[in-house]
A and B are shown apart, each in its own frame.
Chain A
Amino acid sequence: MTTTTLAVLVPLLPFLAATAGLLLGRTAPGFVRPLAVLPTLAALALAIAVAVDQGGGRAVQTHTELTPTGSVPIELALDIDGFAALVAVLVAFVATCVQIYSTGYLRDDPRYPSYAALVSLFTSAMLLVVYSGDLIVLLVGWEVMGICSYFLVGHYWETPEARAASIKAFLVTKLGDVPFLIGLFALATDAGSFRITTVLGTVANGGLHHPTLVGLLLLCGVAGKSAQFPLHTWLPDAMAGPTPVSALIHAATMVAAGVYFVARLLPVFEASACVMVVLAVMGAVTMVGSALAALAQDDIKRVLAYSTIGQLGYMTGALAVGDRGAAVFHLLSHGAFKALLFLAAGVVIHAAGTNSLAVMSRTSGLRDRVPDAYWTMTVALLALAAIPPFSGFFSKESVLGAAEHVATGHTEHAPGSAGWIVLVAGLVTALLTAAYATRLWLLAFRGRGTQAADHGRQPLSMTVVLWVLAVPSLAFGGLAYRLLPDWFDGRALAPTLTTSVLSTGLALVGGLVTYGAWQRTRSLAARVPLGTVAAHPEGDAGLVEAEAIAAHEPAFGDVAYAPDPADPGRLLLGPLHRHAAEGFHLDAVYDVLLVRPVLAAASLVQFLDREVVETYVRGAGALPRLLGAAVRRAQTGNVQTYVSALLAGTVVLAVAVLLVATGA
């Protein structure tokens, strides 16, 4: 088979699996698990084959036009360069892990068939986005991912949190997608084609008329999809979905699609210095803000969600300094270790029966109950905090190195101010990241108090996947930073000495300060007992998690916050803690700025319709109704009255005819 055939099969196999899964889910439940796992596994094998064939050399390009579509042609095009080949391998790899994990995680769930089919459909859509060489085909995959995300976040639609979160995720991403669509049209109008290669050719020849406008419009969609400030608010709430979904869609792949899109079309954004500075500011605000918010969250998954937003901010920052190699490098290593963090968190939540860090910090012996999750999560948190030699260190250093490179004025693509913004924000975030990673680890695994209840061993399908994902978290960065430049633009990704020393030092400081704070506050934990545990701790992990999320708000008054004085984050953040826990009140701001005006406008329209328009309608009907009432009185039901009226009429007519006939 040629590389093209293999590449076409990669998104096609999960799509067929999704269709079959949706059709057969009810009638043949025995096929659901093989149908979920095997096609994704095959897609992984094919994606690896494609990557080996492509080998980082010339991009594999092919295109066919199904039918003429008016002025700007839409073509089914494949465009597989080094970025696409490697990102596809990551997507298929994480998707396979998540599908295997889900067989254990949702083993008793009655909606597992549709869940697995939707995960397959999502995988297919993401692979389509990665391989597509045509912007409209890419957009199709982009939107299918959005709707899959909506369905999967709302998997536990019995809980109000999940319902609200799924609608919020859908609406906020669509808010970005509308300008995104307009931006795509503007781009294609200038280029005369939706093909990525043609667009990039046009940009290289200076054929783009309004680069700033197009760039900003496209950034809206990217901000929505990749959860960047100010459209990031849906991602923490999306944690109401099942943990494997959070791992696949809201950590490793879908949210990275925005970053990947910018990486593919980077010359379009580089055409305007303004867009690059906006990108840098967006990345910087996202990084620092989300890291602060992560330090204050009580829900273990929300900590990871804010951490995801922050790491995506690093990728945006790398793009803002014009180094897409570093951005995609961080995307790849982050995809592996963040998926691992989420899946391990799923195991921890199952074992602890709660998602609250405050409750976990009052439970001892959790790490002995789930040793696999404990060790793999430690590895992944070290990778997240960018401690050498874990993979996060190398990818984050490549980002910071690129920023330093631009800040010292070594490149013409990106403005130096963008370099400084990204560099400073990146270093501050390195400190904060280490702090919240340490806090998460200490609270979850170093708790003191009642012994954790024993719910038996975790399913093998869940624990094995953790170790599989731990391998790239441990070793990918160190092995890859020398090889990846051949696949990417050829720019070196090796860590530079200054930033490495600085950021590792800051990370160590962050970790040690958090440890010190934790030493001071941990004694308070015994004095303030807190606790809620899922109602059915023996159930499968999905059920336990749904119950844990549902129990958090009644127990602590908020989905994100717990009044726990023993939290080291509270000591570190001081008065900022309350605001950080609420995500700096951005939801409240949106509520005031958008939600309430829309609701007010809706009630105004309702008033106009009910009270004004309907009054006219009723008024128009009043006169005929009165006439009708008058005429109705003639209907007495007495036949003789009717005949009398008939006679009178006849006489009148006869007289009239006579008068006319005689000419009187």
Chain B
Amino acid sequence: MHLAYPAVLSALLFCTGLYGVLARRNAILVLMSVELMLNAVNLNLVAFDVWLSKTARDTLHSGQALTLFTIAIAAAEIGIGLAIVLAVYRNRGTSDIDRLRDTAEGHQSGTPTDGTAGEKAEATA
């Protein structure tokens, strides 16, 4: 198989993930898009590892080993990420990224812009 097929596929996957990260509003979908991007990278790593081992320049399969690391770390990351999203949802009643603007300049807690001030106050109490 020519190297171009997996490379193009991985580029498409990465772009889909990037679009999801930039455009999606739901935090869970954003996390899923991040997974897509990671897997695009994994695909690249495996494909280039095979290509490099065919030309016998690298016999250690470091690409595949790195993929295993990435998968493990991605699993941990998604676990923590989902836990955070769950906590945010329980606190705020939403996981809409557009409404989670607490770090904005001039933001004051309790302003009705995020519409969840009451729940937030309840959570902190």
Which A residues have a C-beta under 8 Å from some C-beta of B? 632-633, 635-640, 643-644, 647
B102 at the interface (CB under 8 A from A): yes
Residue in contact with A636 in the complex, picked from B22, B30, B104, CB distance below 8 Å: B104
Q: Which residues of B contact A637 (CB under 8 A)?
A: 100-105, 107
* 4 further A-B pairs in the complex, CB-CB below 8 A; given A636-B104, A637-B101, A637-B102: A632-B106, A635-B103, A635-B104, A636-B101
Known: A638-B97, A638-B98. A643 touches B21 (CB 8 A): yes
B50 at the interface (CB under 8 A from A): no
CB distance from B71 to the nearest CB of A (A): 23
Q: Which residues of A contact B97 (CB under 8 A)?
A: 638-640
Residue of B nearest to A632 (CB): B105
B86 at the interface (CB under 8 A from A): no
B18 at the interface (CB under 8 A from A): yes
Q: List 28 A-B contacts (CB under 8 A).
A: A632-B105, A632-B106, A633-B105, A635-B103, A635-B104, A635-B105, A636-B104, A636-B105, A637-B100, A637-B101, A637-B103, A637-B104, A637-B105, A637-B107, A638-B98, A638-B101, A638-B104, A639-B97, A639-B100, A640-B21, A640-B22, A640-B23, A640-B30, A640-B97, A640-B98, A643-B21, A647-B18, A647-B22
Residue of B nearest to A640 (CB): B22
Q: Which residues of B contact A647 (CB under 8 A)?
A: 18, 22
CB distance from A342 to the nearest CB of B (A): 70
The complex places the Cα of A638 from the Cα of B25 at a distance, in Å, of: 10
The complex places the Cα of A270 from the Cα of B30 at a distance, in Å, of: 102
CB distance from B90 to the nearest CB of A (A): 19
Encode contact with A along B81-98: 1 for CB under 8 Å, 0 otherwise.
000000000000000011
Residue of A nearest to B103 (CB): A637
CB distance from B83 to the nearest CB of A (A): 17
CB distance from A633 to the nearest CB of B (A): 7
Residues of B21-75 contacting chain A, CB below 8 A:
21-23, 30
Residue of A637, A639, A644 most packed against chain B (CB within 10 A): A637
The complex places the Cα of A647 from the Cα of B22 at a distance, in Å, of: 10
Q: Which residues of B contact A640 (CB under 8 A)?
A: 21-23, 30, 97-98
The complex places the Cα of A644 from the Cα of B23 at a distance, in Å, of: 10
CB distance from A155 to the nearest CB of B (A): 56
CB distance from B73 to the nearest CB of A (A): 19
The complex places the Cα of A632 from the Cα of B97 at a distance, in Å, of: 20
The complex places the Cα of A644 from the Cα of B97 at a distance, in Å, of: 14
Q: Which residues of A contact B102 (CB under 8 A)?
A: 637
Q: Which residues of A contact B98 (CB under 8 A)?
A: 638, 640
Q: Is the CB of B22 within 8 A of A643?
A: yes
Q: Which residues of B contact A639 (CB under 8 A)?
A: 97, 100
Q: Is the CB of A644 within 8 A of B105?
A: no
Residue of A nearest to B113 (CB): A637
Q: Which residues of A contact B107 (CB under 8 A)?
A: 637
CB distance from A646 to the nearest CB of B (A): 10
Q: Which residues of A contact B105 (CB under 8 A)?
A: 632-633, 635-637
The complex places the Cα of A640 from the Cα of B99 at a distance, in Å, of: 12
Q: Which residues of B contact A644 (CB under 8 A)?
A: 22
The complex places the Cα of A644 from the Cα of B98 at a distance, in Å, of: 14
CB distance from A288 to the nearest CB of B (A): 78
CB distance from A650 to the nearest CB of B (A): 11
Q: Which residues of A contact B104 (CB under 8 A)?
A: 635-638
CB distance from A639 to the nearest CB of B (A): 6
Residue of B97, B98, B107 most packed against chain A (CB within 10 A): B98
Residue of A nearest to B21 (CB): A643
CB distance from A631 to the nearest CB of B (A): 9
